[in-house]
Amino acid sequence: MSLVIVGSVAFDTIETPFGRRSRIVGGSGTYCSLAAGYFTRPRVVAVVGRDFPKSAVAFLKGRGVDLRGLKVRAGKTFHWEGRYEKDPNIRETVRTDLNVFKDFRPEVPRAYAGAEIVYLSNIDPDGHEFALRQFRKPKLVAMDTIRFWIETKREAIFRELGRVDILFANDEEARLMSGELNLIAAGRALVERGPSLVVLKKGEHGALVFGRGFVFGVLAHPCDHVIDPTGAGDAFAGGFLGYLDQAGTFGRRDIRRAAVYGSVLASFVIEDFGIDRFRTLDRAAIDGRFRDFRKLISF
């Protein structure tokens, strides 16, 4: 079992129709590792400033997250502020303060270099390349990105696409990357760029997994109160990759089950602000919702 997550550990300020929270703990690496922690012992490569709370570090460690790759630097922790409309699929980035994240060169601890699964979550694609070179021979490399990097570092993103096995993208990102409006066409075009699987997340409508000659659709769990959608994409990836790491094989059946676990983890995280839902969530509840999915889609 070895999953390494390269990503952001951050402070987020979030406003949704249900309220506002200032400088709560977030970040792609945080959400992803907490979700993956239900299946495996994820390892994180990230950087925070001296202002990052020790209680948050203790919480992550208590959830089985290995933080030997978390660097603490002089300066302030990365801070992101986002606002959501009534439609939770629409979000506006109000500000991004890179702080210690600026020029972050992710150094992979030697103990992590033999990882079998590497997840390059949302950070600068140049940082992804730098990190990837430090792993010996991962069996599975996955990546995620956002509009910010697709628009500012397009070439680096396309170079990276040629080196990864799985791309996680939401519908907007897939359209921006491929230039195709139709999602099926976008998925196909992205598979041609290198990854053997493209996981297209469609917010409250679920996700589509594309491969060569393979398509699998998974619903999102019906949820009538989306309190805070932040981290849903990262929790999806964490559930997906955490499950694969636990399974140890990456066949089509594993991929289907991984996609359902991804959707289940995403459906929990949006039920509360930030990472709060993880404080009470246990594996039994996750498996319960996994079984509910079976009923939801069987006919």
Binding site for ligand AMP (CB under 6 A): 8, 10, 12, 26-28, 80, 96, 122-123, 148, 230-234
Smallest gap from Cβ 277 to ligand AMP, in A, equals 14
Q: How far is the CB of 106 from ligand AMP (least distance, A)?
A: 12
Q: How far is the CB of 74 from ligand AMP (least distance, A)?
A: 20
Are 44 and 7 spatial neighbours (Cβ–Cβ below 8 Å)? yes
Asked if 147 contacts 172 with a C-beta cutoff of 8 angstroms, the reply is: yes
Residue with smaller CB distance to ligand AMP, 77 or 178: 77
Give burial (CB, 10 Å; 0-12/13-18/19+) of 42.
Answer: buried
Nearest to 155 by CA among 125, 188, 122, 111: 125
Q: Which is nearer to ligand AMP, 46 or 286 (CB)?
A: 46
Shortest distance in whole angstroms from residue 270 CB to ligand AMP = 9
Query: What is the C-alpha separation between 69 and 107, in angstroms, rounded?
Result: 8
Closer residue to ligand AMP, CB minimum distance, 131 or 247: 131
* CB-based contact 228:196 (threshold 8 Å): no
Q: Nearest residue by C-beta to ligand AMP?
A: 26
Which amino acid is present at 90?
I
The contacts of residue 12 (CB under 8 Å, 6+ apart) are: 21, 23, 24, 25, 26, 27, 79, 80, 81, 82, 230, 274
DSSP 126-163: HHHHHHHTT-S--SEEEEE--HHHHHH-HHHHHHHHTT
In the complex, least distance from residue 278 CB atom to ligand AMP, rounded to whole angstroms: 13
Q: In whole angstroms, how close is the CB of 242 to ligand AMP at the nearest point?
A: 15
Where do the DSSP E strands lie in the chain? 3-6, 10-16, 19-26, 43-49, 66-73, 79-84, 91-97, 117-120, 140-144, 166-170, 197-201, 207-211, 214-218
Please state the closest distance from residue 207 (CB atom) to ligand AMP, in A: 13
Output 122 or 263, the one with its CB closest to ligand AMP: 122
CB closer to ligand AMP out of 106 and 231: 231
Q: Toward ligand AMP, which CB reaches closer, 10 or 191?
A: 10
Query: Of 206 and 247, which has the nearer Cβ to ligand AMP?
Result: 206
